[in-house]
Structure 1
Amino acid sequence: MLRIMRTLLALWVAMVLSLGTAHAADGPRKVIIDDEGFQLMHLMLLESSEVEVVGITTVSGNTWANRATAMVLRGLEIAGRPDVPVAQGATYPLLNSEALTKRWEAIYGKLTWKGAWMKQWVEPTAQTTPAYYGPDDPVNLPGGNPTLKPSPEIAANFLIRMVRQYPGEITIVACGPLTNLALAQRLDPQFASLVGELVYMGGSLNPHQVLDDQQAQEFAREFANSPRREFNARFDPESASIVSRSPWRKLTIIPVDPSTATQRTRTLLERVAKAAKPDVAAFVSDLEPGFPLWDEIAAGYVLDPAMVTNAEDLYVDYNTQFGANYGDMLSWREHYQPDLGEQKAYVVRAIDPVRLEAVMVEAMQQGAQSDE
């Protein structure tokens, strides 16, 4: 009799859990954005009715974490989304540093882009020269600083708490260095297994210049002679390797490769701005054109996976040896991986750029309609 009662109880619990899961699946997909600033990718996910952004975490990469946090908070004010919590993350990579990068360049040659450590372009470039800041410099954003304040919780703890609150329901979209995710995994070994899907922009397999213009040619400098190198992974190779060996339920990687067929043109910015609500439209109109749509592809994949035209299952890791290939992407097909914990990943090799642009416009339209 006791055994029967236990069986019935187990069936009841399973039914309740399945109903909860079905209910969650019926609603918008829960998303946490992990990145180093505020850009079109954030707006695509914030404005879309297909997802619910339940938090944003920041990390150093293109700029320092404190500045990235201020940019996100200001962006949320522009988007009219003060409800989205923002948790500041890691200021420094796990091991890499500005001093080590200078030493590496003295031995192996100049990097095209160094993010927060960038002071000038090696050669004339169409893109503006980034301003250089220290990690603790005061933040004074053009147009004023935000009035919104970040959460007192650090990013790694926020990530752990959220995936434990919503096990299997959260998609993390990471478009910067993976330091916060590596820290979360080291703090909580169950972290990765509680994430529904990790989608990150990073790594590089063998990209080729597709668009025939000066800016596309300039961006090709980054991979023409070092096709396995990409900034997000190169900024913190150790974190990228930890993430590669973590037990994700589903891992999707957007390397540089599909971005070479895309470009943030002035025409595209005008289309996106025209579809957006006024404050967002003004922000979009002020964006600098010419960049590939690296991170927008990651957001676009979450909103419309059918935009992928070529993908491959690969085992991925990153080179953490301080040598000429430090930070480069490593990849293997089934049976060839070294079996040191590498996880199988769905790696996007190509996308439909026209469909991506349509997704960007549609997300802005949804945001404008919800604001009426």
Structure 2
Amino acid sequence: MKKTVISLILLSTALLAACAGNDEGGGAAPKIIIDSDFNTMGDDGQLFVMATQLMAQGKVNVLGLTVESGNGWLLQEQSDALKAAERMGVASQIGVYSGANYALAYDAASIQAQIAANPNGWFGSWMFPQPQSPADLIAPPDGFATSNTLRSQNASDFMIAAIKAHPHEVTILEVGPPTNLAIALRKAPEIAPLIKAIVYMGGNINVPGNANAVAEMNWWFDPVAVSEILRLDIPQSVIPLDVTDTVPLDQATFDAIAHNPAKQTVVTQIYDTENAQFLGPDAHIFDTLTIAWLLDPTLATQTTDAWLSINTTPGEQQGQVTASTTAPIAGGSVRKIRYVSQFDNTRFLAQYIDLLTRPVPVTLPAF
């Protein structure tokens, strides 16, 4: 019996390494940077809660949280991120770094035309007035941060420094438009071979878009940044709409987080406030799949390796992804990229519920 158990453990370890190559070696917690278009307790905020709870368990080491416009404008997002770190009790260990307010290239007239032509689309910050000062910001339900402040480095410079300090060890969880990372790679192209991996929540391969008809919002927002990074020889993988469309946020999952009387925290209360309005047949779970898959690639039950390219032209084809499993695409990725299209929802949702209902604040170990 003991031999069988040991064999299963060894097989599981081998599968994890073979599927994603994300083992740190020697049992060290994987080092990650979360690059995000942050929100209080939507998908980005939930990811941060899960990441800090996992960090408290010694399973991951979050080096920093970098922010760029996407879901909202930068000024609002960085305010929400500062409060999130303070709420979780990790402000001194996980810095918040402010990044790009705009995409590398954008055509404002085309964007407004696309918004008008796609009334059910999600175009993030472009759908709202841009805050001009702190007076224009909306406070989270538990108020603004009272002591946490932005770190002095901007996001791209922090990325460069962290990657150089930990060569071949840093994975970027790219859950917003990848503008900050593209800027870092423009500034310091020598970091490209030092990046361990990039895991995106973005793009859509064989399903409709959620911005315009053909594009997912994160990649639609800055397709030039996506295109530049895809063309670099960095291990990259994608959690696209193809899989997030199959992971619903249903009433039972929502209630298990928001309405469990034995597990009420500030996180569960804000989760209730921020997400109740979105429940329905189109409610799905997005960014949090990235960290779950990073730590356990067996959660992906269907994946495809393909060369990818993205349309960078402003207009109704902006952000559209093309995939080929047979040959490289001109102007596309230089290596095949793994994208996920099915998840083990039962196992994932159990982890999702558990991590979002753990006690807050957390206590982090020394790394």
TM-score calculated relative to the size of structure 1? 0.79
Task: Look up the match of 2:66.
Answer: 57
Q: Distance in 1 between matches of 2:194 and 2:273?
A: 38
SS at match of 1:287: helix
Q: What is the identity percentage for the equivalent residue pairs of Structure 1 and Structure 2?
A: 26
Once the two structures are superposed, the pairs formed by residues 85-104 of structure 1 within 5 Å of their partners are 85-104=95-114
Structure 1 residue runs of 5 or longer lacking an equivalent are 1-21, 119-131, 208-219
Q: Distance in 2 between matches of 1:78 and 1:282?
A: 12
In the alignment, residue 256 of structure 2 is paired with which amino acid?
R
**Does residue 76 in structure 1 map to residue 85 in structure 2?**
yes
Aligned residues: 322
Task: Look up the match of 1:280.
Answer: 267
Q: Distance in 1 between matches of 2:297 and 2:265?
A: 28
In the alignment, residue 271 of structure 2 is paired with which amino acid?
V
SS at match of 1:73: helix
Aligned-pair RMSD on alpha carbons? 2.7
Q: Distance in 1 between matches of 2:274 and 2:189?
A: 39
Task: Look up the match of 2:144.
Answer: 145
Match of 1:299 among 291, 295, 308: 291
Once the two structures are superposed, the pairs formed by residues 149-228 of structure 1 within 5 Å of their partners are 149-207=149-207, 222=210, 226=213, 228=214
Match of 2:237 among 240, 243, 252: 252
CA positional deviation for 1:300: 1.7
* Equivalent pair of 1:276/1:368 in contact (CA under 8 Å): no
Q: Distance in 2 between matches of 1:367 and 1:169?
A: 29
* Equivalent pair of 1:276/1:365 in contact (CA under 8 Å): yes
Q: Distance in 2 between matches of 1:201 and 1:100?
A: 24
Larger radius of gyration: 1
CA positional deviation for 1:77: 1.4
Q: Distance in 2 between matches of 1:98 and 1:111?
A: 19
Q: Distance in 1 between matches of 2:190 and 2:166?
A: 13
Task: Look up the match of 2:334.
Answer: 342
> CA 1:182 to 1:353, structure 2 compared with 1: closer, same or farther past 3 Å?
same
Task: Look up the match of 1:11.
Answer: none
Match of 1:309 among 293, 297, 301: 301
Q: Distance in 1 between matches of 2:312 and 2:340?
A: 23
CA positional deviation for 1:238: 0.7
CA positional deviation for 1:367: 6.1
1:125-179 deviation digits (Å, cap 9, x = unpaired): xxxxxxx331534324144221210112111111111011111111111111111
TM-score calculated relative to the size of structure 2? 0.80
**Does residue 236 in structure 1 map to residue 226 in structure 2?**
no
Greater Cα shift, 343-352 or 155-164: 343-352
Q: More relative contact order in 1 or in 2 (CA 8 Å, sep 6+)?
A: 2
SS at match of 2:210: helix
Q: Distance in 1 between matches of 2:145 and 2:362?
A: 24
> CA 1:98 to 1:281, structure 2 compared with 1: closer, same or farther past 3 Å?
same
Greater Cα shift, 339-348 or 178-187: 339-348
SS at match of 2:232: coil
Structure 2 residue runs of 5 or longer lacking an equivalent are 1-22, 40-44
> CA 1:276 to 1:29, structure 2 compared with 1: closer, same or farther past 3 Å?
farther
CA positional deviation for 1:47: 0.6
* Equivalent pair of 2:257/2:353 in contact (CA under 8 Å): yes
SS at match of 2:346: helix
CA positional deviation for 1:100: 3.1
> CA 1:110 to 1:237, structure 2 compared with 1: closer, same or farther past 3 Å?
farther
Q: Distance in 2 between matches of 1:281 and 1:303?
A: 23
Match of 1:359 among 333, 351, 354: 351
Q: Distance in 2 between matches of 1:326 and 1:339?
A: 15
Task: Look up the match of 2:17.
Answer: none
* Equivalent pair of 2:237/2:339 in contact (CA under 8 Å): yes
* Equivalent pair of 2:89/2:362 in contact (CA under 8 Å): no
CA positional deviation for 1:243: 1.5
CA positional deviation for 1:81: 1.0
Task: Look up the match of 2:47.
Answer: 41
